[in-house]
């Protein structure tokens, strides 16, 4: 299908007519509103709603607000109606109510370059999983040896920790290097100061669009239907702080300082055509985690690193979401199986996505094998971990025949730690 918004028809455009991802933006007025990306434009959904061209919230508007939560809470039938109606309004030869109304079109279509994008939904809770098998094996081999790389539970249960919703930030937000306790190898005790081993993690984030009931578990099919869409996710990690603190309860300060997400939520419906057969889990999973369709998403992912003094960025990783061992639906099922209530706006991080080859590793910890093998950038600099002034950019897309369903970018720049003189660091 082609759109009358011509920029959406370019083969490498992330925001084609078959995508229509949702986000939150503000233009000249400074008022936050919900929108959809189409080509190089942002379609103001509040304007369509006010004009009577988009009605999904019964007798109340859901798009003239600063988050997608009210729309998501309407459920999958409303999501489907909105997607179908937007397609009708934007497809060439479709409903011309928007295309032929020059006044409304001027108000509702805003150049993407002129808007500021915001966090697309209010994050209720944030849980980060550990569902990339290659990543889990790499890290385990690094610290415990290849014969004991995967913990005994890993092939049976989606391992996770509860993160901080308060520090989930939208792409473009600068990130300050965290402070914390670390202990050097062989030292008698810890020291305090900025993390020296700061890292990124390339992940997908699943956005939960429906609530569940406390005490009631979910099937994998029910969980899948609750997922509204996906974002790119960079779970920034302070490896040296994590090494000292993680026993026995797992990451804490090493992960709590920031998690970056892309500003556009790509709907589950837009990604469904890009499901491919998933590898068969061995050993077989327990019945509550088994899925009938046995598919996974085929999304290409790239990571670029640009030092502050560099003229351009270097692509340091190319991986694919098909390397995830557990799907978002399985993660959500496991999250709720003990009775945990899931809420509209919950965010589930997939865990670091790594492929079997070194250029497919999804973190510097793996790429440099714990800092032992320096990474040389295209512009001559080297890195073992992230330095102040470095900018990390994640991007990803599902490739169709002559079109893409993409996420845009998820970017963040690292600034120096904020020190207090009384701390002596």
Q: Which of 14, 135, 323, 334 is catalytic?
A: 135
User: Across the strands, what pairs with 179?
Assistant: 194
**Long-range contacts: 148-156, Cβ < 8 Å, 24+?**
154/130, 155/281, 155/282, 155/283, 155/325, 156/283, 156/285, 156/286
Please tell me the distance from the alpha carbon of residue 394 to that of residue 233, in angstroms, as a whole number.
8
Please tell me the distance from the alpha carbon of residue 272 to that of residue 21, in angstroms, as a whole number.
14
Catalytic (active site) residue 156: no
**Which positions ≥6 away from 188 have C-beta within 8 Å?**
none
| Residue 323: strand, helix, or coil | helix
- Residue 282 DSSP class: S
CA 404 to chain centre: 17
Q: To which residue do tokens 């989930």 refer?
A: 168
Q: To which residue do tokens 């999983």 refer?
A: 129
Please tell me the distance from the alpha carbon of residue 73 to that of residue 62, in angstroms, as a whole number.
10
Q: Which residues are catalytic?
A: 135
């Amino acid at each position: 299908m082609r759109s009358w918004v011509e920029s959406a028809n370019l083969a490498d455009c992330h925001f084609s007519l078959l995508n229509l991802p949702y986000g939150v933006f503000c233009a000249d007025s400074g008022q936050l509103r919900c929108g959809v990306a189409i080509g190089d434009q942002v379609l103001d959904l509040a304007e369509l709603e006010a004009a009577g061209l988009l009605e999904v919230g019964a007798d109340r508007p859901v798009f003239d607000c600063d988050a997608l939560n009210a729309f998501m809470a309407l459920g999958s039938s409303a999501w489907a109606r909105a997607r179908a109606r937007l397609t009708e309004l934007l497809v060439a030869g479709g409903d011309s109510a928007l295309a032929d109304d020059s006044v409304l079109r001027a108000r509702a279509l805003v150049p993407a370059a002129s808007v500021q994008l915001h966090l697309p939904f209010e994050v209720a809770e944030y849980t980060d999983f550990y569902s990339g098998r290659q990543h889990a094996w790499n890290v385990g081999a690094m610290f415990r040896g290849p014969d004991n790389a995967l913990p005994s539970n890993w092939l049976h249960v989606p391992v996770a920790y509860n993160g901080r919703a308060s520090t989930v930030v939208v792409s473009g937000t600068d990130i300050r290097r965290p402070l914390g306790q670390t202990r050097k190898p062989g030292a008698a005790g810890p020291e305090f100061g900025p993390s020296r081993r700061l890292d990124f993690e390339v992940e997908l984030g699943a956005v939960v669009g429906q609530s569940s009931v406390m005490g009631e578990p979910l099937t994998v099919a029910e969980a899948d239907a609750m997922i509204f869409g996906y974002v790119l996710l960079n779970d920034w990690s302070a490896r040296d702080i994590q090494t000292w603190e993680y026993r026995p309860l797992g990451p804490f300060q090493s992960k709590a300082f920031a998690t970056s997400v892309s500003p556009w939520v790509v709907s589950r419906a837009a990604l469904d055509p890009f499901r491919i057969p998933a590898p068969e889990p061995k050993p077989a999973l327990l019945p509550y985690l088994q899925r009938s369709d046995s598919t996974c998403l085929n999304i290409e992912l790239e990571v670029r690193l640009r030092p502050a003094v560099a003229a351009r960025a270097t692509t340091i990783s190319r991986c694919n979401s098909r390397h995830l061992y557990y799907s978002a639906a399985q993660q959500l099922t496991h999250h709720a199986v003990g009775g945990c209530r899931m809420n509209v706006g919950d965010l589930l991080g997939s865990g670091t996505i790594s492929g079997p080859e070194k250029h497919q590793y999804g973190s510097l910890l793996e790429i440099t094998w714990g800092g032992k093998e320096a990474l040389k950038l295209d512009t001559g600099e080297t890195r073992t971990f992230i330095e102040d002034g470095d900018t990390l950019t994640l991007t990803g897309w599902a490739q169709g025949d002559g079109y893409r369903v993409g996420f845009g970018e998820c970017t963040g720049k690292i600034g120096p730690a904020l020190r207090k003189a009384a701390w002596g660091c």
